[in-house]
Amino acid sequence: MNLTEFLLQKTWWIPCYGLVGALLTLPWATGVVKRTGPRPAAYINLLMTVVAFIHGTIIFRSIWHLPPQILTFEWLRVLDFDLTFSFNISVINMGAMELITGLSLLAQFFALGYMEKDWALARFFALMGFFEGAMSGLAISDSLLLSYALLEILTLSTYLLVGFWYAQPLVVTAARDAFLTKRVGDVILLMGIIALASIAGDLNFPSLYRWAETVKLDPLIATLLGLALVAGPTGKCAQFPLHLWLDEAMEGPNPASILRNSVVVGCGAYVLIKLQPIIALSPFALTALIVIGSVTAIGASLVAIAQIDIKRAFSHTTSAYLGLVFVAVGMNHLDFALILLFTHAIAKALMFMSVGSVIYTTQNQDLTELGGLWSKMPATTTSFLIGALSLIALPPLGGFWSLLQGLADFWHDSGIVLLILAVNSITTIGLTRVYRLVFLGESQPKTRRAPEVPWTMAVPMVSLIFVCLLIPLIMQKLELLPTWTAINKSAAVALISSSILGVAIGYAIPLQKAWSRSLQLPLRMSQDLLAYDFYIDRLYRITIVFAVSTLSKISAWGDRYIVDGLVNFVGLTSIFSGEGLKYSTSGQSQGYILTILVSLGLFTLLISW
């Protein structure tokens, strides 16, 4: 067995590298080792991520022209119960893993500069290691049960990373809301997995696909099962109505936001793509996917253009693009979903690096207090521009080719075509607005002295610029680009026109830094409606949160005054009865016998009555 074959058989090691790196940093994260400072923990995690990336690169190159390899591990066998975990080593899965480890490497390198003075640097890198390990495992997992376990690790990691600066009350609230919102989807997904295990008898994806081809389920059962399987990715991908957590998660450190808005949400969509053949058993569940994705895509795009927090503005665009992925999965256009996830992840990672640089330099992320940074921070400005151009539909960068793929797939469906064009145009308006407020115009008090970021932040940012510029060549190498004759010229013209229209509107809209809200009542009401996310959080407070709180209070009152009262009454009765009976001890047996007979008679009379 040569080295390549050995590494192929040990592909399951790649997710373990991040987990091992996280465990090795615990002596620094827990404060056991203090003399060296926390930086050795960061170097250990970086080293393990480099090893994971190199290992994945070797496997990716070696299986390029080979069929998928299946690695199966038997975990538990009891009688007829056989629980196995399997990994699918295919070109697509390894490409997803390489994307995860590569972006994780750049984000951790970026964090060396961004978190340099943070006292809990070791704890941050330990959590990033868990983040990376769970995502890498999801990329190659061929078992629904294993995928669910890894999704749970992601939920826990999200909670810990969002609440990283736990001394701030707003951060604690954001971490709690993010965790509970994702838990809603996770619990419903777990119900679907348990039901699927009892119906199908196996939770490995190949077995589930074979089962789905022949099974005839009752429509109601198929619908409930499909909706349960959709619920988990809905929460993970921040889709309506479980979308509020991603906005609040921006309270966490920016290097974690780089991964969260690029590949973490993409992992939920990746699981959804794997579940599509099972969800397709219910036409209603597919329709629900399309409705959820469409509502989120349009709603989040509109909400993004009214935000004054730069990170929150970008987080809503993440939900919007994942909404298009949901629509693609609901319409069974999985190629478009995968390509969009790929191009969006790289573009959004670069944009969040540029945002992190702005926040690091100015110590501010309020759009109304920024401006004039283009001449002071040229590398950051270039990063933002390249990332933005890679996200929207402007040739020849990656976003154009992914959206063109979607438009070509749905060209005969006018509703979906309008949806894609609208999302692209509104997103372009929002990005143009952010660019004008942050980089153009006059310098503000907090941006007058704004030097470029240190090399530890600039190197990964510039590296990702080159990756974004090379995305078309990478897509061509992967045979993802259409030939010139196969390009839908009308779709390409429509896409480019929507982008140009978005840029024009974004530059034409008057922007006032003196106030964040318009003085005109109709415009101010519309702005508030979008800025507060259509008041959905308030709607939740007066409906679901109020109902749960009221039921909890009723339950607590019943437990205290009815259940506890009944138990206390029985106890008091026993005490007083015992105290009363102790004075009737005469020592005469006939009295005792009479008492027993009378008690038995009364008890028999009570039972018969």
pLDDT for 513 equals 61
- Is 574 a residue whose pLDDT tops 80? no
**Does residue 282 share a domain with residue 176?**
yes
Contact between 203 and 84 (Cβ < 8 Å): no
Average pLDDT, integer, range 375-383: 89
**Does residue 386 share a domain with residue 269?**
yes
Rg (CA), the chain: 29
Confidence of residue 447 (pLDDT cuts 50, 70, 90): confident
pTM of the model: 0.88
**Does residue 218 share a domain with residue 74?**
no
pLDDT for 581 equals 64
Confidence of residue 85 (pLDDT cuts 50, 70, 90): confident
**Does residue 234 share a domain with residue 177?**
yes
| Cis peptide leading into residue 396 (ω within 30°) | yes
**Does residue 149 share a domain with residue 4?**
no
Contact between 513 and 437 (Cβ < 8 Å): yes
**Does residue 159 share a domain with residue 12?**
no
d(CA 295, CA 31): 47
Which residue in this structure is represented by tokens 């067995």?
A: 1
Tally of domains within the chain: 3
Asked which of 118, 142, 166 is the last residue of a domain, the reply is 142
**Does residue 136 share a domain with residue 195?**
no
Print the domain residue range for 73.
Answer: 1-142
pLDDT tens per residue across span 581-601: 666 666 666 777 777 788 788
Confidence of residue 287 (pLDDT cuts 50, 70, 90): very high
**Does residue 218 share a domain with residue 75?**
no
Q: Minimal CA–CA distance to 13: which of 71, 61, 62, 66?
A: 71
Asked which of 531, 557, 587 is the last residue of a domain, the reply is 531
Confidence of residue 341 (pLDDT cuts 50, 70, 90): very high
60 contact partners, CB below 8 Å, separation of at least 6: 91, 94, 95, 98
Q: Which amino acid is at 439?
A: F
**Does residue 184 share a domain with residue 283?**
yes
pLDDT tens per residue across span 508-535: 887 766 545 555 667 777 777 877 777 8
**Does residue 479 share a domain with residue 413?**
yes
Average pLDDT, integer, range 565-586: 72
Buried b (16+ CB within 10 A) or exposed e, 242-253: bbbbbbbbbbbb
**Does residue 462 share a domain with residue 506?**
yes
**Does residue 483 share a domain with residue 359?**
yes
Asked which of 142, 169, 197 is the last residue of a domain, the reply is 142
